[in-house]
Amino acid sequence: MARVWTGVLVLALALGAAVPASAQPADPIKIGVIQPLSGPVAASGNYVRMGAEIGRDWINARGGVLGRPIQLLIEDNKSDPKEAATAAEKLIVRDKVPILMGAWGSSMTLAAMPKLEEYGVPMVVETSSAASVTKRGNPWVFRISPPSEMEALGLEKYMKDFGVKQADFLAVNTDWGRGSATAFGDLLKRSGASVGATEFMDQAATDMNAQITKIKAGSSDTLFLTTSVEQITLVLKQAQEQRLVRKVITTGGSSSPSQLIKQAGAAAEGTYHLLFFLPWFPEAMPDGKLAKAFVDEWSKRGHPFEGLTEGFRGHDGILTAAEAIKIAGRPDPKAVRDALWRVSIMGVNGPIKFEKDGPAGKESGQSKPSIFIVEIKDGKIALPAFVAKK
């Protein structure tokens, strides 16, 4: 009996010792990364991770930051806000990271945000699109991805070329999908077009036939589709099966058109996609050389080409974080936060510079990323005619 309790005690002590024992030598500067690496959006989270790793390796190849290499501490938020908050806590408290990048989905990011304020550590938001992320008055949040409203503005100048009279919305039933439907709905009204039906699909749903049948019965000429590439594939295939004829525009930047061509085939023909990176035309990016180098490195590592449209977010996020640490002169969270306001660099997407967003006195940082449109024509990615002209 005594043996059992001794065993339990030893085990408890061992666990207790093992957990903080991984305090490593202070040489590398650690950056925390929180992404959904398992669950329904595991692919996207992993692409961001891969991009982040390229960013890290390039920075280290150039000598690191402040003479020290950077190290990424990667945590899986399992698409669960509770996990995102716990991961943030662990990275901040146990690993003492001066800055974080994360957490992909808006709910996960919002859940981690109170931890940032509690401990005073900044986070670079690389994907979330909910407006509230930068409007909540959290001065530790710096976003390089566009909120849906900004994305809609990016489409505004092409509205006449698209000639939309009435559009339907089919969006994933999350803050991202709903926010996008609202933002683009407002855009339509501003441009003199009208909104038809607004349908939603559950994030894990695979059968969208009901929604498609409903949309088909309406009289719209365009369909705005906001979800990740897997569901877009299914929607396009099911739309083809039901012979739905519409102009399709996907929003959100997670449509991975190369993967769509591979998996949806002819069903993807003629569709338009709003993206934040053009891996097929890197020269068209604001920094063509950097974009091309990123594309080349990505394929050199054997990563799937389809992941580039999301992977660049990880690269730009780490680049931003490292730059901030450099400007700050030391890996101290508050200094890094102040330094973020002075960051002005060129990422794969384009210029990264933060402007104030949100309630006065507690503003978050929001950058203005570049937004692009592509078309799938003849089984290949092309710049739409009216875009190439401008």
Partner 1 sequence: MDQLYQHLLNGLLLGATYSLLGIGLTLVFGLMHVVNFAHGEFYTLGAYALFAALAGASVDFFLAIPLAVVLGAAAGALCERVLLRPLRGESIDTVMLVMIGVWIAMQNAELLGWGGVAKSVPTPFSTRPVVLGSVSVSPLRLFVFGVSGFLILGAHLLLARTKLGRAMRATFQDRETAALMGVSIERVHTITFAFGAGLAAAAGALLGPVFLLYPSMGDLASLKAFSVVILGGLGNFVGAALGGLVLGVAEELGAGYISSGYRDAVGFLIIVAVLLLRPSGLFARAERVG
Partner 2 sequence: MKRLGLLVLLGGAAAAAPAWVWNPYHLHTLIMAGIFAVLALSLNLLLGYTGQLSLGHAAFFGIGAYATGLLTVKLEWSPWLGLGASIAVPGATGWAIGRLALKLRGAYFVLLTISFAGVASLVSVNWMDLTNGPLGLPGVPAIEIALPGLPALSLRAKGAYYYLVLAAVTLCYLVCAALIRSRIGRALIALRENETLAESVGINGTHYLVLAATLSAAMAGLGGGLYAHYTRFVSPEVFLFSYTVTMVIMVVAGGKGTLAGPIVGAVIFTVLPEALRAIASWQWQMLLYGMLLIAVLFFLPRGIVPALQERVK
* Positions that interact with partner 1 (CB under 8 A): 37-43, 45-46, 173, 199-202, 204-207, 209-211, 213-214, 216-217, 229-230, 233-234, 237, 240-243, 262-263, 265-267, 304, 306-307
Residues 28/68, Cβ–Cβ less than 8 Å: yes
Residue 53 C-beta: closest distance to partner 1, Å:
15
Residue 329 C-beta: closest distance to partner 1, Å:
38
Does the protein bind partner 2 through residue 94 (CB under 8 A)? yes
Q: Nearer Cβ to partner 1, position 309 or 364?
A: 309
Residues 101/314, Cβ–Cβ less than 8 Å: yes
Among 30, 178, 303, 337, binds partner 2 (CB under 8 A): 178
Residues 167/223, Cβ–Cβ less than 8 Å: yes
Q: Nearer Cβ to partner 2, position 15 or 217?
A: 15
Does the protein bind partner 2 through residue 125 (CB under 8 A)? no
Give the SS3 label for residue 344. strand
H or E element in which residue 334 lies: helix 333-340
Residue 215, both tokens: 């949309």
Q: Which does 124 bind (CB under 5 to 8 A by kind): partner 1, partner 2, none?
A: none
H or E element in which residue 112 lies: helix 106-119
Q: Which does 201 bind (CB under 5 to 8 A by kind): partner 1, partner 2, none?
A: partner 1
Residues 78/38, Cβ–Cβ less than 8 Å: yes
Residue 78 C-beta: closest distance to partner 2, Å:
8
Among 65, 70, 111, 232, binds partner 2 (CB under 8 A): 111
Q: Which does 17 bind (CB under 5 to 8 A by kind): partner 1, partner 2, none?
A: none
Q: If we measure between CA atoms, which residue out of 26, 22, 99 comes closest to residue 68?
A: 26
Q: Nearer Cβ to partner 2, position 128 or 258?
A: 128
Q: Which does 225 bind (CB under 5 to 8 A by kind): partner 2, partner 1, none?
A: none
Residue 263 C-beta: closest distance to partner 1, Å:
4
Name, in order, each residue with C-beta under 8 angstroms of 182's C-beta and a sequence gap of 6 or more: 148
> Buried b / exposed e across 278-314, counting CB within 10 Å, b at 16+?
bbbbbeebebeebbbebbeebeeeebbbbbbbbbbbb
Stretch that binds partner 2, among 19-27, 154-162, 257-265, 339-347 (CB under 8 A): 19-27
Q: Nearer Cβ to partner 2, position 101 or 111?
A: 111
Does the protein bind partner 2 through residue 110 (CB under 8 A)? yes
Q: If we measure between CA atoms, which residue out of 189, 190, 215, 186 comes closest to residue 200?
A: 215
The interaxial angle of helices 333-340 and 308-328, nearest 10 deg, is 110
Among 57, 89, 269, 297, binds partner 2 (CB under 8 A): 89
Does the protein bind partner 2 through residue 348 (CB under 8 A)? no
Does the protein bind partner 2 through residue 23 (CB under 8 A)? no
Stretch that binds partner 2, among 105-113, 210-218, 230-238, 252-260 (CB under 8 A): 105-113
On the 0-12 / 13-18 / 19+ scale of CB atoms within 10 A, 161 is: middle
Q: Nearer Cβ to partner 2, position 7 or 329?
A: 7
- In sequence order, the β-bridge partners of residue 376 are 381
Rounded Cα–Cα distance for residues 30 and 26 (Å): 9
For residues 67 to 86, the per-residue mask of contacts with partner 2, x marking binding by CB under 8 A and - elsewhere, is -------xxx-x-xxx--xx
On the 0-12 / 13-18 / 19+ scale of CB atoms within 10 A, 182 is: middle
Q: Nearer Cβ to partner 2, position 11 or 266?
A: 11
